Structure 1
């Protein structure tokens, strides 16, 4: 069978993951990043980055997740502007080679990268290319809508029997996300049988439905009503609000 006849999940995938300073994608700064190239019958390769976070502080809560303190990042990290440019360029190159981007909870990582690019005067990724994105969380929620349990990367790795060595390492998380997407595609013909362009468009609709469902759940749950206002429906990138930039 020729490469052209094979489903997209037998081709090369590019995984992307960030570790950052906070959970707010509008203001978070990149601490570490990884772009990995997975599958396609070839060894996994990639590149990782450590940023000096542009002089920002890394809160203790973030350090507890990924292990980097403000001092460590400043000493060993490279200038944040260079890191943002290099990550964006690496992702754009993968897209130009026809590879989909695999990103767990894509609106977070892609929005952080986008805001960092704007912060440092770097041309944002979506101003350079129009990527097809594969989000393990959106895909899993679609094919396993009523499955109980969490939907973190750790949860998905456990469910799909994917090794996750060094969780919250950007490189390990990017590789694991690719492996989860491969497992989903290999298990569900409804996913692997779609062309990438259609699958991307479908995820836009699925992600919106999933976020609307979450918003509605918050709105009707005592004590969580206020959370409904913070649920955003955009996927794979949160729309830019210039007034929020910092």
Structure 2
């Protein structure tokens, strides 16, 4: 696992660099898309590069990490709509090439199995963008999730719903109680994991992710077992890391050609 500590705007540039390098070498790459606040600056940077340098998503595929259950198709916080507004509509990404779990499906297990099959049929995810919840969840794999889990329905913890209430006019009652989410086992099959976390409120989750034991109580710790995992954090989110100085030294002395 590589840990990079830098200002938030630099972290967004580094993540965008990795995505751009992938798309330049493999225009039909498969990208894993996260919502929430963590990737927003990355999407802004990718949109800028599309606009100013011609970075193209025309042949790429996109798969979302998760989706709320039961939100109407036109709800602004439905994650498919969020991804459309934050990145897909800002670049040349055809709608049909960006998919998410079907949060309105009548047959939920069938929809989850179909989503797993769609990812596999696309050749798997080349680069997966991730955020990290304050309780250590990635996607909506809440504490206690199986480290081998697949796409499925999950009940959201009260803490996650409180964290997400800001997207629903700070009204907890509006936040759905269930979601469909890629499982930890599904996420771990992506070829490169890139997680972003900023702010002191993420410090304990980042500490557990990077330096704690692998445990279902902190689901993101499963990333320690991945052969190509990158953790991008600012100084505040890195404030609990015991080896922060070593991570800074390692990145400062990294060969320039190596990238993420």
The reply to whether TM is greater than 0.5 is: no
Quick one: higher RCO (CA 8 Å, sep 6+), 1 or 2?
2
- For normalisation by structure 1, the TM-score amounts to 0.30
